[in-house]
Structures are given as C-alpha cells and as structure tokens.
Amino acid sequence: MLSTLSPERRTMLGQLIRFGMVGGFVTGLYALVYSPLAKFQLTSPQVANFCGYLAAMVTGYVLHSRWSFRGHGSRDNVRRTTSRFFLVSLVSLGLNALFVFILTDSMALGGPWWWPLIPILFVTPAVTFVLNRQWVFR
C-alpha cells in the first residue's frame, strides 16, 4: 500500500506518524503535570492547564522541530519558525483553556477534572498538526 502513495504523501504520512509519537509523548507530559494539580486541587484547573502547557510547549518545540518535521520546509529563518511555533502553541493553550473552562467550571458544565483530557488528547493535536505542517515548518 505504501508503494502506491506518491512521494509527497509518503512524506506527509511519515510526518504524521512522527507527530503522533511526539504529540502522544508531549500530551502525556501535559497530562502528567495537569492531572495531579487539578485532581488534588493544588491550584485551579486553569493554572494546572497553564503549567501543563509550559512543559509541553518547550518539549514539543524541540522534538517537533528536530524530528517530527525534519526535512520539511526551510529552517533558514529560525526566528520565524520559533515565533510561529509559539503562536501555534498559544492556539493550543487557548483551546485547552476553553476545554477546561467548558468542562470543569461551575459556570459551565462543572464536570470532573479529567473531562478536558478527552478533547485535549484528540482535538488539540489535530489542530496543531495542521498548523505546524502548513504554517510553522513549511
């Protein structure tokens, strides 16, 4: 089946697989930071979200730029790539903050601390893959 794919599609498939592996690791790191802070109410869910974001953002930049999207696009302008990655990471922070608010805040659904992890595991990575591939590492 892979032999029937065009070289461009094979390249994208490889990037998607690497992105999934790194993204899974980074999302796990996010959850590892967020979960105890939120579960044991050591801080508010939004502060726990921000702490998880910081850990994931730094790790994600290093791993995605060096492995997930290796060989894709130009790395001539490191400042541009870094600033764009940071902007995409702010999109992910915003999405995750929205999920945390809607799913855990008493003014919204008021669910348990772990509810936001579901869209954070599935929606946020899909959005960031597209943005990273099409805009950051092009």
Q: For every one of its 138 residues, what pLDDT tens digit does the chain have, with 9 covering 90 and above?
A: 567 888 888 888 888 899 889 988 998 999 999 999 999 999 999 999 999 999 999 998 888 888 877 766 655 678 888 899 899 999 999 999 999 999 999 999 999 999 999 999 899 989 998 998 899 888
Q: What DSSP string runs through 88-99?
A: HHHHHHHHHHHH
Q: Where are the domains of the chain?
A: 6-136
Contact (Cβ atoms closer than 8 angstroms) between residue 116 and residue 97: no
Q: Considering only CA atoms, which of 48, 50, 56 is closest in space to residue 30?
A: 56
pLDDT for res 103: 97
pLDDT for res 92: 95
pLDDT for res 115: 97
